[in-house]
Amino acid sequence: MKIVIIKYNAGNIQSVSFALQRIGIQPVITNVTADITNADKVIFPGVGEASTTMQYLKEKKLDLVIKNLKQPVLGICLGMQLMCSHSEEGNTSCIGIFNQNVKKFEPKLKVPHMGWNNIFNLKEGLFNKNIENKYAYFVHSYYAELGEDTAATTNYIIPFSAALQKENFYATQFHPEKSGDVGAEILQNFIKIKI
């Protein structure tokens, strides 16, 4: 099975690669369109700023590549936010896979939201019942609203989408690669998805 991690100007690619290696997967890290489109599964990670990252994706036409993928795709953190319609970060039009808006947390509590938080109201796909209410690791200042594509919920200041799912596209706001055994189980669930 060929698992590709999309290489672009956003961080945490190596930590995702190491997490996959820990569960017995040797991923390919690439920005070559043919390698991405021919993969069995694609992971779109990200740590960074939405507007500059989206500009880079458009320059390389990776935004269109991602949107047109037919195999299972997993977006992580900024990757998830860029799969939404719009982000308040830099007033950015995003890829538009999920019909969700990404908003900045009101600073009623500490922002960024950083650390462990429970995930609940889980949908099948990435999740199974034993993950309900377990804790995952978050680091972010922007969040996707709740909506029809919400696949998991977390509460910090307000309830928001901890994960999204639509057709062959899956995404997590939290970092499964930094979420210990729970994150490893979620990555294994993604590897097992059949479409």
Query: How many whole angstroms separate alpha carbon 171 and alpha carbon 120?
Result: 15
Distances 147 to 19, 112, 125, 151 between C-alpha atoms, Å: 29, 22, 17, 9
Q: What is the mean pLDDT of residues 79-93?
A: 97
Averaged pLDDT of the chain: 94
> pLDDT digit string (tens) for 135-144?
999 999 999 9
Amino acid identity of residue 43, one-letter, is: I
Q: What's residue 107's pLDDT?
A: 76
Q: What's residue 1's pLDDT?
A: 92
> pLDDT digit string (tens) for 2-19?
999 999 887 779 999 999
Which residues, in sequence order, are CB contacts of 99 under 8 Å at separation 6+? Answer: 84, 85, 147, 148, 149
Q: Over 90: is that where the pLDDT of 109 sits?
A: no
Domain extent listing, the chain: 3-192
Tokens, residue 140: 């972010």
Long-range contacts of 64-67 (CB under 8 A, 24+ apart): 65/33, 65/36, 65/37, 66/6, 66/42, 66/95, 66/97, 67/95, 67/96, 67/97
Query: How many whole angstroms separate alpha carbon 13 and alpha carbon 42?
Result: 12
CATH superfamily of 3-192: Class I glutamine amidotransferase (GATase) domain (3.40.50.880)
| Catalytic machinery residues | 77, 175, 177
Q: pLDDT band for 101, please (50, 70, 90 cuts).
A: very high
